[in-house]
């Protein structure tokens, strides 16, 4: 076999590999996400953490935050790093985190809106848990009251 024939064979092998890789990528992108989107039933309830934080999420889009670590300066109570008070919620995903909800509440300054994200992980092995990306420990568990 001449060098030109070898190059021809290697060219078609490489081209075939590229086509197969491209098709596999397309097929993988078309496969449905195995995790169904969150529903209201997945998020409504009382979420509590061992540090005393508590989120009450209602089906009407309202919520109550109790002793939730503030995500940024100026978003807690005037004299604390925690937030307690009313909020509203919508489905949202914090960048690079699991899907969840965003809880919006008025900040300390007039007209300021602050947000807390609750990323929710649903697992057959571990059940449903949530965490705040800005304060990942402790985990929030729905329908459970932590002691301590």
User: What HEC string does the chain produce?
Assistant: CCHHHHHHHHHHHHHHHHHHHHHHHHHHHHCCCCCCCCCHHHHCEEEECCCCCEEEECCCCEEEEEEEECCCCCCCCCCCCEEEEEEEEEEEECCCCCEEEEEEEECCCCCCEEEEEEEEEEECCCEEEEEECCEEEEEEEECCCCCC
Q: pLDDT tens, 113-142?
A: 888 899 998 887 878 888 888 877 778 988
pLDDT of residue 147: 43
**Same structural domain, 54 and 127:** yes
Higher pLDDT, residue 1 or 65: 65
Indicate whether 72 and 125 sit together in one domain. yes
- Answer yes or no: do 19 and 44 share one domain: no
pLDDT at 93 over 60: yes
Claim: this prediction has a pTM higher than 0.75: no
23 plus 44 within the same structural domain? no
Q: Is residue 92 part of a domain?
A: yes
- The pLDDT of residue 77: 62
Please tell me whether residues 24 and 49 are part of one structural domain: no
Supply the pLDDT for residue 148: 39
In a domain, 148, yes or no: no
Give me the pLDDT at residue 79, please.
65
What's the average model confidence in pLDDT over 25-48? 79
Query: For residues 19 and 120, what is the distance between their CA atoms, to the nearest angstrom?
Result: 38
Q: How far apart are CA 104 and CA 86, in angstroms?
A: 9
Domain count of the fold of the chain: 2
Task: Give the structural domain span for 117.
Answer: 40-142
Assess whether pLDDT exceeds 60 at residue 33.
no
């Amino acid at each position: 076999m001449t060098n030109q024939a070898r190059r021809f064979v290697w060219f078609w092998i490489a081209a075939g590999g590229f086509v197969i890789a491209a098709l596999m990528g397309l097929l993988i992108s078309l496969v449905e996400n195995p995790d169904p989107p969150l529903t209201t039933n997945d998020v409504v309830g009382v979420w509590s953490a061992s540090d005393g934080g508590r989120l009450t999420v209602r089906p009407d889009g309202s919520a109550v935050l109790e002793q939730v670590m503030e995500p940024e300066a100026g978003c807690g109570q005037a004299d604390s790093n925690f937030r307690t008070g009313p909020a509203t919620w919508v489905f949202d995903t914090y960048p690079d985190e699991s899907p969840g909800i965003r809880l919006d509440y008025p900040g300390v300054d007039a007209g300021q809106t602050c947000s807390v994200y609750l990323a929710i992980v649903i697992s057959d092995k571990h059940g449903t848990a949530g965490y705040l990306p800005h304060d990942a420990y402790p985990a929030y568990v729905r329908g459970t009251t932590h002691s301590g």
